[in-house]
Amino acid sequence: MKKVGIAFGDFVTEERMNRRRGGGSGAIGEILGVFPLFVLGIAFSFLFARLFYIQIIRGDYYKKLSDSNRTLTKILPAPRGIIFDHTGKKLVSNSPAFFILDKGVVKNLDENEALSRLSLGVPVENEIKREYLYKDAAAHVLGYVGKVSSEEVNLPAFEDYETTDDAGKTGLEKEYETVLHGKNGRELFEVDSKGKIVKKLGRQDPTDGKNITTTLDLTIQLAAYNAMKNVKKGAVVVSDPRDGGIRALFSKPSFDPNIFIRSKNYEGIGDYKTRESILLDSENNPLLNRAIGGVYPPGSTFKLVTAIASLEKGAINPSTKITDTGILKVGDFSFGNWYFLQYGKTDGEIDIVGAIKRSNDIFFYKAAEGAGVDFISSWAKNLGLGERLGIDLQGEVAGTVPTPEWKEKTLGEQWYLGDTYNYGIGQGYLLTTPLQVNFWTSVFANDGTLYRPHLIDGKKETIKKNFLKKEYVDLVREGMRQSCDAGGVAWPFFQFKVENSKLKVDGIDYVDASSGSAKMVQIKLGCKTGTAEIGGKETKPHAWITVFAPFYHPEVVVTVLVENGGEGSSFAGPIAKEILTKYFEAK
């Protein structure tokens, strides 16, 4: 019988049976057969997830990254707003500056060098530099700018700034940063793989910062600066008593603010040539704005406050007379009048007007005793002491208005009658700023209104008004008028006159005092000097004077402090006189 061989179906059946008999070796083979497909599936899933993440989730980011590899954005810096005085004169300006990066080092170029480099195809960077036109004459009031720090640029207030931008660090530059700072523009270029510009794609122009017009008067500011040239430390405040506008604010020692924005090679004027010399002088502290941030005993300028408090309390009245004995004794302590201590003389029987005229200490010792420390302190606060007046500059301090409770809490000691005597003449624990002295003087100049000091035109604000009795204000004013006249103590202002044919002689504020061909005009004014003792006998007192003019229609108040200068009339008086002379000559 012929065999036909093994059928195909039988073969398959037999193979299956053989595989089952083979057990483990067949299962491993199956796994090995599908493993490549499994690995391929995982790889494809990872690739798909990665593509989804890059193209969908992070698509915008990588698009920008890609664009940045073929585009170049150049920042167009926005010029800061200009600061003007109230007559329209520039106090600061902007000027272009050019530089290149040479091996990572910034090299400054002048305009001709910049043009020459550009003609050779060398990329030159440019920026706008702030320039303080009058250098150290107005450093504290104008302030200065500096680069935004890496910490600042992350703050909400600087969200639109670049790290190359300037921002105000002190003074008006800082106070009005949001007004003065503009908005940068941008230029967009297409570049090749080597970074070479292929073409310009677009431009967004910068928006300039807004200009500000201040209440400052450049003529008066420079007059204050020049008048203080021989002073080591001190301050000047000049204001308009009709609205509280600041005409000049000067602090000494000063510095050239251009030092902080120019290259290391820039040499400042005056005593400070470098940034380091400014920052390291902890003894004289040139960055301190003494006009608003320095506190001092005001000396006899405070007698104006004691006078009002004593009148309001009824401790004295217009007809009250006190005999100048030269010395008052309290236990083992003696309290003398300056006239007796220096010349061995007394003023005899004296009333409130005469006491202000002669700055008589004995009168004000007794007046302060009658009014009491608490009542004097309350009136000091009414006149703006013991708190910040709110000038639109950072750095103003409140000073100290003492009370028995304050002394007990601060020093752990009780209040004595001698403390009251010292307080009544502006000594002891009382501390004020030159700004505060200027503004309580303004209250007497304008018949009883306390304005908020301000540096921007149009910001007139009344703190309080009609809080003084006119009859009392008139008494104080008359004492101040006589203080500046023959027999008073402010001798630099006796027969004060200037040469100016434009001044209208009215026989009241302005009196004809012509001599020969010169058109001389005598100007009536009111003033109060102060000599504030500090430390021991080896330490010179602070010299003060505060003046308003013209007397019947005041338009300017000048306050001068000379730290450790000596007697107020002798050292502060001539400075105030020079400032007022320039003021009235320029009218």
Same domain, yes or no: 185 and 270: no
The answer to whether position 53 is within a domain reads no
What's at 120, amino acid-wise? Answer: L
Same domain, yes or no: 273 and 342: yes
The answer to whether position 11 is within a domain reads no
Same domain, yes or no: 173 and 224: no
Q: Are 442 and 476 in contact (CB under 8 A)?
A: no
Same domain, yes or no: 198 and 243: no
Residue 471 pLDDT: 96
Domain residues for the domain of 531 are: 218-585
Measure Cα distances from 451 to 131, 238, 245, 583 in Å.
Answer: 32, 14, 9, 22
Q: What is the C-alpha separation between 448 and 441, in angstroms, rounded?
A: 10
Residue 518 pLDDT: 80
The answer to whether position 418 is within a domain reads yes
482 C-beta neighbours (distance < 10 Å), count: 20
- SS3 per-residue string spanning 92-156: EEEEEEEEEEECCEEEEECHHHHHHHHHCCCCCEEEEEEEECCHHHCHHHHCCEEECCCCHHHCH
Residue 125 pLDDT: 72
Q: What is the C-alpha separation between 160 and 552, in angstroms, rounded?
A: 52
Same domain, yes or no: 366 and 279: yes
Asked which of 154, 181, 213 is the last residue of a domain, the reply is: 213
Measure Cα distances from 141 to 137, 152, 291, 373, 557 in Å.
Answer: 9, 23, 9, 35, 18
Same domain, yes or no: 388 and 533: yes
The answer to whether position 223 is within a domain reads yes
State phi, psi for 187 to the nearest 5 degrees: -120, 135
CATH number at residue 568: 3.40.710.10
Q: What is the C-alpha separation between 361 and 72, in angstroms, rounded?
A: 75
Asked which of 213, 234, 249 is the last residue of a domain, the reply is: 213
CATH number at residue 207: 3.90.1310.10
Q: How many separate domains does the chain show?
A: 2
Same domain, yes or no: 497 and 570: yes
Closest to 367 measured CA to CA, from 378, 351, 380, 383: 351
The answer to whether position 60 is within a domain reads no
Residue 290 pLDDT: 98
Same domain, yes or no: 130 and 148: yes
What's at 149, amino acid-wise? Answer: S
Same domain, yes or no: 207 and 324: no
Residue-level pLDDT, tens digit, the chain, 587 residues: 444 444 434 434 444 444 444 444 566 666 666 667 777 778 777 777 777 766 676 666 555 545 555 777 777 888 899 999 999 999 999 987 777 767 666 677 777 777 777 667 677 777 788 999 999 999 999 999 998 887 887 888 888 888 778 899 999 999 999 999 988 888 887 777 666 777 777 888 888 899 999 999 999 999 999 999 999 999 999 999 999 999 999 999 999 999 998 877 788 888 899 999 999 999 999 999 999 999 999 999 999 999 999 999 999 999 999 999 999 999 889 999 999 999 999 999 999 999 999 999 999 999 999 999 999 999 999 999 999 999 999 999 999 999 999 999 999 999 999 999 999 999 999 999 999 999 999 999 999 999 999 999 988 999 999 999 999 999 999 999 999 999 999 999 999 999 999 999 999 999 999 887 788 999 999 999 999 998 777 889 999 999 999 999 999 999 999 999 999 999 999 999 999 999 999 99
The answer to whether position 12 is within a domain reads no
Same domain, yes or no: 240 and 192: no
The answer to whether position 337 is within a domain reads yes
The answer to whether position 403 is within a domain reads yes
242 C-beta neighbours (distance < 10 Å), count: 16
Same domain, yes or no: 287 and 396: yes
Q: Are 415 and 373 in contact (CB under 8 A)?
A: yes
574 backbone φψ class: left, alpha, beta (φ>0; ψ -120 to 50) = alpha
Same domain, yes or no: 303 and 422: yes
Asked which of 213, 235, 257 is the last residue of a domain, the reply is: 213
Residue 27 pLDDT: 62
The continuous run of DSSP H or E covering 282 comes out as none
Q: What's the pTM?
A: 0.84
Q: What is the C-alpha separation between 556 and 582, in angstroms, rounded?
A: 12
